[in-house]
Structures are given as C-alpha cells and as structure tokens.
Structure 1
Amino acid sequence: MPVRPEKAAVPQMVRQSAAGQKEVPAAPGLAESVPVRQTPPVCEPADAMAGQEMLGRRLRFYEARLAGWQAVEGQVAALGLADRPAGWGRCLAEVGELHDQYEMASRQVAPDGQSQDSVALGRWVGELLDRDVGYLGSGCEAVLAMGTAALAGRPEAKAPAVGERSASLPAAPLPPEARRQFGLALLRAGQLEAAANVLAGEGGGESSPNDDMAGPRLTADLLLAVGRVAEARSHYEMLGRACSALPGVDRWVADQLELLRGADVQSAAFPGFLAVLRAYLVSDGQRVPDDLREGVARLEAQAPSSGLARQGRRLLEMAEEKGGVGLPERLAEVDRLVETREFARGLAILEGLATRDDLNPAQQAMVRDALLKVRKAKFLAEETQPPPEQEVAGQWENGVQLLESRKYDEAIAIFTALLETGDQAQAKEKLGEASDLAIKEIRGQASALFVQARQTASLERKKSLLMESWKLLRGAETRYPGATVAMLEKVRQNRGYLEDYIRQVDPALLDASRSSGVQDVEEARP
C-alpha cells in the first residue's frame, strides 16, 4: 500500500539572508527559497480575509479529495489486490501533500486574516496554487476512476460482511466533494445503481463547475435511469424550484417533470426510454453508442408523437453534439451566418450552446459574447431594413400558416419565391426552418422503417424496408438544400449508419441501387 509522506514541519515563514534580504521557504518539491525584498505588506485587510477564505476552500477541497482516495485505497488493501493503476502511488501521495501544505498555510494566517509576513505567505501560496493546478491537470482523477472501476466488478467489493467497515463509503460520512467524485467514478465504471445511491446521499446533489455531469440533474437522471421514478421526480421538482441558479437544466427539467407527471410513465415505451437514458449516461462523449441510436429509433417507431420520443431524440442530439462538432467550429458557423444576415439561425445555435452544462466558464463567456454580438448586429440590420411590401406580407402570412400546419413542401415553395423580394434574409431563415422540419419528419419515417427491417424474419422484406429507409434519407439531402448544415449532417450520419447495416445484410444491395440511377428520390417520400 503506498504510504503518504509524513507531514513536514511548518516552515519558518521568514529568515534573514546574508544579503539582508528575506527568504521564504517554498513548499516541498519547489525551489528551496525565494528571495523577497523588504517591502511593506501588500495585502489590505479585506484582501487578506479573502486569501484566508481561499485557503479554507482549497483545504476543504483536498480534504474531500484525500478522503475519496483513501476510501478506495482502503478497499483495495482489504481485498488484498496487488495491482493498482499506473500512477496510483504518485497521485495518492500528491493529494496528501497538497492537503498538508494547504493545512500548514492556513495555520500561518491569524483569525483576522493577517500573517507574520503577508508577502512571504503570498509567494508560498502562489507556488502552492501552481502545484494545485498541476495536480488538476495531471490525470490523477482518471487514475482514481480506473481504480474504482477495477473494484466495481468484484462482488466482494460491493457487499462487505456485516460488522466490517464498508470500503465503498467510510463509516463517517464522506465530505460532499469526495462523495461526488466517488459517485462519478462508479458511473464511469458503468455501475449506475451504485452511482445513484452515492450521489443521492447527503451532499451528493451539490454541483461543481469542473464536471459537466456532476450536479443535481445527473442525480435525478440516474435515479430515473435505474427505475426509481418517485425519487427522480422529487429531485426534478427540487431542481425546478432552483433552476435559476443552474443554467442549462431548466428546459430539460421542465420537460422531464411533464413526462413523469403524465401518462407516458404507464406507456409500454417507457422502459425503452429508460434504456436510452442509461445508454446516454454511460457514453464516453467520444462517439455515439449504437444502443443509444437504436433505442431512439425504436422509441420513435413505437410512440412517435410522445414526450418519450422527444426526450430520447434530445438525448441522442446531445450525444452527437458532444462527440462531433466542437465549440470553435460552432462559433465560426455563427460568424458565417451573421455575414449573410441569417441572424435567427445564428441565434438559435448560440441559444442552444448557452443551455449546455458541459462548457467551462471561459467557454460560457465566449458564448455570451457571441450572443451579444449577434443580437447587436441583428438590431442594427433591422433598423436599416425597409418594411416589407404589402403584397409580400400576405404571402409571408400564408407561408407561416402552411408551416404551422406541417405542410412543409408548400411552405418551402412560398419562402423560396420570397427569396427574390426585399425580405430575402427573413425568407431564407424560414426556408431553413421549414426544410429542417421536413427532414426531421423524414428521419422519423426512415427510423421507423429501419426498426421494422430489424424485426422482420423475411430476408427479402428486410432488404425492401432497408432500401426504403435509405432512399428517404438519400432524398432528403438533395430535396432540401435550404436545410441547416447541422440537420444535413445528422442525415448523413443516419445514412452512414444505415449503409453499414445494409452491407452486413447484402453487400451488393447498395451498389445495385446506385447503378440503377437512384439519385433524387422524391417519389420515395409518402
């Protein structure tokens, strides 16, 4: 078992050098001393008190980190496991050392926030913070997750004998941060029930700015995913009352509550939705799991107009977003839309980004700045834009009504004609909206055909259904060029997945269709 180094003695904060300068011992592992000129303390009392609060926060942070590491280390030792992940001893020692150094630094500060030498303390703490940042970027949290995952598959690790100290959670309650980290490690190991138990415990619902899934929404989602519907509803209701403090979760929470309070819970499709939620929660963010795609396709075929299908589709889109286009590319796309005066589409992208809870503070600031920029550009453009002509207004109203009636092709024809008027930018926005909605409907039809194909035992029927699905997706790309880039990319992803499956059934099927001239398949759409 790796042994933490003993605590170093509290260093004398100031000693006199031969040159008449004061020297400050650094934290162990840093430069031996840092020369400092004799200058008056630079911290005002308010600043010193703020520094004391910061030291307290970092000390509590590492108390929690250390407790989490020791909980897993204790169980590893109790089970007699010899193999630990690479870097385990180094990371455990570093967490302990950071905890000890913050504890020593905190003792140097008097209750009023002052210290013997605030300049010396400031330099020491600055170096300590550098070391702190180094730990956070060192990959040690992944090492802890691997250690927890190794335990998760061992039955003896899950059910300690009566009277034994539980190694999964110590006898004394873990600090909230340690409980949160342990719950996340269990989730990464695929232990959803155990993760739900940990995160739903005392302090488990506290959010953290450092982990996109480590918050109250994750706790509620986990409880629902493992079938604890009443507990999940209670957590969503708590979130609904406090969502103003949790940007990005309010819409999801409201829709989840609507779903859980309605008849969808009694639907035969409800277990399928829970399977989709589980697939989303355990996904690694690098690729979209096949069972997530297939589960959403089944939901849309079984209950196409239900809240279950809508929420399942949203989970799939969130998974695609995480595994696909990054923030810089999205912001660049918004810039291009602003240049062509397509403000509504640009704002839609940014407003979607603003609701994501996986962005760090710097990324959130980038999105906010972009929103302000686009809104200002839209305002200035509208101020200088002439009012629509009277005759155009009637056509516009007719197009909107057709769009609301889901007569997308007729609406597209009207907005295409309006591209030749002074309302070109607005017509292009509506054309994109109508095209996206039409494609979304086609994707649903293609998904339903794909599910039928997978379920049929007849090979010929399977081939026929698969090719109908493929033709719908192929036609959508060519039929609706006014659709957004994001929607067309989703169609291509769907078609790529479908083509892989078709090749498994009959490698020659796609070649035969392409050679027969299947290019634009408008007749394939019902």
Structure 2
Amino acid sequence: MKKIAKSFALSMCIAGLSGCAVPDLPKVPPSPPKSSTYQVPVAQPSQDTNAAKTVTLPRYLDIGAEPESPIVEEDIEVVLPSMVYVNDRIFEYGRKLDRWKELDRKSVGAEVGEDDAAKMVRCFRRLQDVLNGYSDLRNKMLQAGEVSAADQISSEDLFKLQTADIEFLEEDCGRMVSESEDQAVGWNKREEGADLSQLETLIDRYDESREYSEVVQVWLKIPPFQIPRVHVKTKIKYGNALIYLNQEEKATEVYRQIVDQMSDSDEQATDLVSLRKILADLYTASGDFKSAEVQYKKISEDYQNLGKLEEWSKLQLSILDRSAEGSPELSEYSSLLRDYLGFIPEQQGYRTVWQADTFLSNYPYSAVASNVDFLRQSSLSRADAWFNSFIASVDALGAEKKFDKALELLETLPLDVIDADKQLQVKAKNEELLLAAAVDKETDKMAKMQELQHQWNNGMLLVKGERYDEAIDVFTNLLDTEYGVKAENKINEVSLEAAKADRKKAAGLFIRFTKTTDLESRKKLLIETRQLLRNILVKYPGVEIISKVQGNIERVEQEMIQIDPNLISIADQGTQEVPVDGLDKAFDSNLIQNEPVAPLIEENGEGVMR
C-alpha cells in the first residue's frame, strides 16, 4: 500500500509540473551536412542596437587607438547562433525530454526513493528551462528576422543559456537522460551541431588564458563536416593561436577563408557598414529618427576609420611596389610585422620595439616609416603595461610582507627582453626587497626577544612566589630558543630549590609523626612523608641532594616497618585511604602545638632522621 501511495504521489508531482510546461514542440530534424570539405561559410552577422559599438579596427591597422586584440578586434558584434544550430539544440533536448518521460513511465509502479524522486523532478525542471530557452530564442529570431532579433536578445542571456546547456550535459541530469547509444556513437554519426558549442566554449577559455597550443588541439577535435558551422569569432581565435605559435602559413589560410567568407555574398552585403545602413534605414522608415541618427553617425565614424585603413594600405603597397622580392628592407619589414602580429609582452618584452628602432635606423626614409612608427608605439605601450603590471604584482607581495615570494617572482623576469634602465630598476627593486626582508626579520627577531624576555620574567616571578613547578614549565618552553642555555641553568637551580622545599615539608611531617601518639595518624604521616620524598626523585632526578633524599626514604620506611610490616605494601598499592579529618588531626594535633619544628636533616648531618 505504501509503495502504491508513493508512486501515486510522484505521478501527481510530475503531472503538476507538466501542466506548467510548454506543449510538445514539433521535432526539428537536424540539418544534414552539406559538405565534408573544409570551407568557411558566410558569417551570420547580427545587427546593432541603439547602443551599438563602433567598428573596431584590426590591431595592426588601427592607426587611431590601441585595441586589445592581437590580430583582429574579436568583439565585432553580438552574433546570434544560426537557426540550424538552434533547431539542433531543440531537437536534441526534445529527445532528452522523451527519454525523461520514458524513465518516468518506468518509475510508475516501481519503488522509488525520495532522493531519486526529487532528483527526477529537479532534472525535469532544468531540462525544461534549457528547452524553453532555445524555443524562445528561435521564436524571437523568427518574429522579424535577425535584424530585430539582435535588439531583443542580449549576449548575456545567450551566454547564460549556453552555460546552462553545458552544465546540464556535464552533470548527473545529462547522464541520466542520455541515450545509451549516444555514448558510443562517433562524431560522423552525431547530429550536426552536437557538442560544437562545448568545443567553442573551450576555445574561448583557452584563448583567454593564452594557452594557444590547447586552442589548436581543441580545434582539431572539430570534425570536418562541422567546420562550416563554427562561429567566425572562434575561427579568428584559432587563427590568432596559429600566429602566436609561429605557424604563419596556416594562419594565413584561416584568415583568407574568413575574408572570402565575408566577401562572397551574392544575396546581401555582410560587411558591418552595409548592415548598419540597413538598420538605420529601417529606423527611419519606422519613424524612430533618434535611433536612426545614432546609426548614421556610426556609419560616418566607420568611414573615418576606413580612411585610416586606406592610408595604411597605401603605405604597405608602396613598399611592396618599390622593393624587389627578397630585398633587405622588405625582408626586415616582413620580419618586424610577423613579430608584431604574434607579440606576447610576457615573452618578447621590448624586443619588437628594438626591432622597430633598428629598422627606422637602417631605413629612415622608408615608405612605411610611419607604419613602423605605429608598430613601435603600439608595442611600446603594451610592453610598458606588462612591465608595470609585473612590478605592481611584486610590490603587492612586498606590501603583504611576502618578501620571499616577491623575490621569487622578480627572478622570473627575463632580463634580456628589457632595456638597461629597466634592468637597473629591477636590480633596485631586488635590493629594496632584500632590505625590507632583513628589516622585517630583525623586527620580528626583536619582537620575539621581547616575548622571550617577558616569559623569562614571568618564570622568575613564579620562582619568587615559590611556585617552582610552574616556573620550571615556563623555563622548559625556553630551551629551544635564544634563552636555551640560560633557561637550562635556571631549571637546574629552581629544581634544587624545589627539591629542598619539598624535603623541608617532608621533615615537618616527620616531626609531627614523632610528636603524635595516635597510631592511625602516625601511619598517615609516615605515608605522606614517604610519598613527598619519593616525588622528589621523580620530579627533580638530577638535583645534588638526591642521595640525602634516598637516605631519608630509607629512614621513613624503617619507622613504617616497625609500626606495621605491611604498611609499605599497603601504601604502594594505594589501598590506604587518608580521610581529611585524619590529616587535620595529624597536622593540628594538640600533641605538637607550641613545639618547635626541627628540620628533617640538618646541614651538618644531624637531625631527626639520620
């Protein structure tokens, strides 16, 4: 009965969730690959919004400003995924929904634990969120074409959707609803678009962390039939990685295909300026004159930047026309441009700057002198930013008093990529850190010595208060410090004082024994005296009065045997209980009142105990 009730409850929960779900969507079969050859397709550009970005020029062609991208400004526009890709994801998640429904049917009538039931509900909700996300994206793209869709869909929303897609696939929910045959199917048998987004995400991550070899390795995992579907930004990052790895010929082929892809469009212009013109005209036609004005101004800015590109190109053409192939000037300029394209400040430092200086020195009247000057200034700016950031990292470690780490970091700086002035700066920074480390170490040492002195003073106060055992503990803690020798001598001195004090107490107890007539009190006093003396042997074994203490113990044991031959064994076994009242009687007996207390052993060898 309980089993049926649990199954019924689970079914009702699923039915409730399904009521909020979107109706079953028509399955959109994945588009078959059109070609298995390596071709770069026409890009899927998006349109600008009211706050659209201005055109950003390629780094080595941006004469007016210094962008961050090493080859081509990658943040061209927010580009929507293709409709084929969106349909593929809807199709794929439709299959996963069918798989989930199949698992749900199997769970009916079966004993399902509460954790498993909650997991199925949670996975259903996540699956539905991703499926609804791609469905909404598809609807927006179909409403008025990609021009207006770009206005409705933000890059942040698109990133969140793709992140949710990847996380679902990588976690337990994705494995739960995956078909068993999916895991064994090869790349060529999978739907077009499957797993491509994950590979593009990996390329983005490796490019951001400058792991260019990994970028190439991930690219090689993309099957040929999916290459035409790869986003143009991903292709640019792959081309950049090839440049940084000094594979210029392969990078040239990648960029040639990108340019051909964006140029060969018979249906409609795909360049950003043309698309911006269409958008501005649409704004004007719809009466949104303010937005249209923004776009027309951006078109003017774009053409101003294109004018700078034209000037750059003219100078480049001039050296190509005037210099014979293989001429020293052209070869040196080609080498400089190659190094600039693959410029990584952390590795090259100021070498590209020096190379530009050498070229300008050798060819002061070169046709591309102004271009070389731009390359020099751009490289100098990036190298300065890297060097200043490096020194700032060293300073940050120094501010945290992590001098060893700061010095280790400073040692990683290659001196052959910086000039003499900066080498002197690095040397001065190294000396500054060494001095700061020495001062900090000396300060810590002084603080430590002050703390040790404080502990020593506490120990001496304990000795003065006759709290010998506590004082010995304090001095013992100083043995492995700069006070070690001094503390060891003090321990021996205090141990002797403590042993003498305990022996004096034992003498007092023995005197009371001699003055007491009560048999039980005499026994108890002897036991206490013997125990006190034996404790001296344990606590202070190295003191010089040990032999005297041992003699005192023998004397006490003789008295114990005379009173009761079994008294010693009883005391050792701990069976003799000593009531408080009995001890008080022993110590406070009227028999010993007004009697002088004699020492147990006089220094001259005479006394009560011999």
TM-score > 0.5, shorter chain as reference: no
Structure 2 length-normalised TM: 0.27
* Larger CA Rg, structure 1 vs 2: 2
Tell me which of the two structures has the higher relative contact order, counting C-alpha pairs closer than 8 angstroms and 6 or more residues apart.
2
